[in-house]
Structure 1
């Protein structure tokens, strides 16, 4: 079976099953194991005077182990490859978590804030409903790139070793890739590697969202707004979703009780976002997912015929 058809089936399996509790209540999820490895390397190697060097060593260890496990699993054939890839994709869990924010807001402001805390790092303890909705939509855009398109891209490029390495680096970045006194040096290699691995997928995500959202006329504005983001990659899917749906995203938000002023993305768009706007964003993500699956199916069919 071609790798494109493997990926097509893995995406469909993930969308169908997501992360079944009956399985992960009995077995440790690969992301949990990756997190445990990162934590052990942090405790073992994070020494202040040589932190950048040991951070590079830690990254090499992580990439080597993840690639080796991915390669070993790939030897067991198509079914194992499809199931393993599905486990490392996160489309179903993403739309469920963001959908929970919309459902929470329909119940109460507090329920909406509680739901969005599960997916964002910003301070939402006093967030207004429109700010909660905006946070949920931004997370939807960024995590569609990080959790779906990027792992799918690296599986298509390098099979199970590729997706395993990507998920390992992405997990490390989420845990140690911060510019804090503890991780500014030790997490530097993981953060830079994550930026490199997400560079192409982030832009592909923006292209896909723009195409499925019918926003080609705004491509120049999307490019300009993407450059305003503090991340070299996260701004692309966020800007594409904002312009496709005429929403204003980014802007001011609070971290650790202090309000930080970030520039608006598509500032002329709708700012008073609601739970219904979250539903609209989720619908576009599903539509884009469907377009990606269809394209991969065609690619796989062509590979089979040729």
Structure 2
């Protein structure tokens, strides 16, 4: 029941700027921990081993913190508030919807806004590419920012939720195949893949079923084509229910990569109305997850 209330709190209030402009958000604190370990340990020889040690410190620290919080009086109330803070449904929808709103002003505004939520090059994007990028971000972050942390809370309460969040933060910061992080971030990237294995597929199921889509074959066919072992699942489901071809070629740091299309049968003329449809899909999947949490609580 705590998670049920946390999901409602997050959906209602999101991330109030009046609070987070005054105190650091937990995600910012986690980022500081990851950045500090990267600065201190990521040098010299045996970088992969040092990365394993860094991940172990983060995971054990997060798990211990979760248990320490449980010792605080009125833990249930605090646990619910912290869980709500660590979910990101409303903020995700707001960020994705802002791309649609920006595109309705101009393509330049759309490019500028989508650049805030994706890592690919945006300067040469047309309207369809901007819209696809926003939709892909919506699908992937529904899994990473909402379903996965909720799933791990169901499994092990606040301690496992914190373990997931610190691992996901580490993956986003040091889990890239760059000369600096290829070795040091290897453990964080692999552990993040493991922790997202079930949630990513659950997210795909929630998106599909909440839209009455029961034919799993196109999702099973296209999800493994994605460059990520997990992100392809929610993206494939979102592509099918919206009938939009996603993924495909895109540029990073000036280099064009010819990634395969997910749901290539779908339309390639996506626009702001499709981004709006993706936002509605986020809420439908969220509502189904909320219902699932309620059933688990009752059981």
TM-score range, shorter chain: over 0.9
Displacement after TM superposition at 1:56 (Å): 0.5
Extract structure 1 runs of 4+ deviating beyond 3 A: none
1:121 to 99, 119, 122: 119
Preserved contact between residue 227 and residue 235 of structure 1 (Cα < 8 Å): yes
Q: Give yes or no for the alignment of 1:267 onto 2:264.
A: yes
For residues 103 and 88 of structure 2, what CA distance do their matches in structure 1 show?
23
For residues 111 and 44 of structure 2, what CA distance do their matches in structure 1 show?
37
Preserved contact between residue 169 and residue 190 of structure 1 (Cα < 8 Å): yes
For residues 72 and 93 of structure 1, what CA distance do their matches in structure 2 show?
28
The residue aligned with 1:62 is 58
Q: SS of 1:259's equivalent?
A: strand
The residue aligned with 1:222 is 219
Larger displacement relative to structure 2 (172-181 or 251-260): 251-260
Preserved contact between residue 213 and residue 245 of structure 1 (Cα < 8 Å): no
Displacement after TM superposition at 1:52 (Å): 0.3
Q: SS of 2:225's equivalent?
A: coil
Number of matched pairs: 297
The residue aligned with 2:156 is 158
Preserved contact between residue 95 and residue 282 of structure 1 (Cα < 8 Å): yes
Unaligned runs of 5+ in 2: none
Displacement after TM superposition at 1:126 (Å): 1.3
1:255 to 248, 252, 261: 252
Displacement after TM superposition at 1:7 (Å): 0.6
Q: Give yes or no for the alignment of 1:92 onto 2:129.
A: no
2:41 to 45, 52, 63: 45
For residues 104 and 75 of structure 1, what CA distance do their matches in structure 2 show?
46
For residues 289 and 256 of structure 1, what CA distance do their matches in structure 2 show?
34
Displacement after TM superposition at 1:278 (Å): 0.4
Q: SS of 1:254's equivalent?
A: strand
For residues 243 and 214 of structure 2, what CA distance do their matches in structure 1 show?
13
The two structures, once aligned, show a CA RMSD in angstroms of 0.9
Unaligned runs of 5+ in 1: none
1:136 to 134, 137, 145: 134
Q: Give yes or no for the alignment of 1:232 onto 2:229.
A: yes
The residue aligned with 2:190 is 192
The residue aligned with 2:178 is 180
The residue aligned with 1:19 is 15
What is the TM-score of this pair, normalised by structure 1? 0.95
What is the TM-score of this pair, normalised by structure 2? 0.98
For residues 220 and 102 of structure 1, what CA distance do their matches in structure 2 show?
30
2:239 to 220, 242, 260: 242
Displacement after TM superposition at 1:28 (Å): 0.7
For residues 295 and 41 of structure 1, what CA distance do their matches in structure 2 show?
37
Q: Give yes or no for the alignment of 1:31 onto 2:27.
A: yes
For residues 244 and 54 of structure 2, what CA distance do their matches in structure 1 show?
40
Displacement after TM superposition at 1:213 (Å): 1.7
The residue aligned with 1:80 is 78
The residue aligned with 1:111 is 109
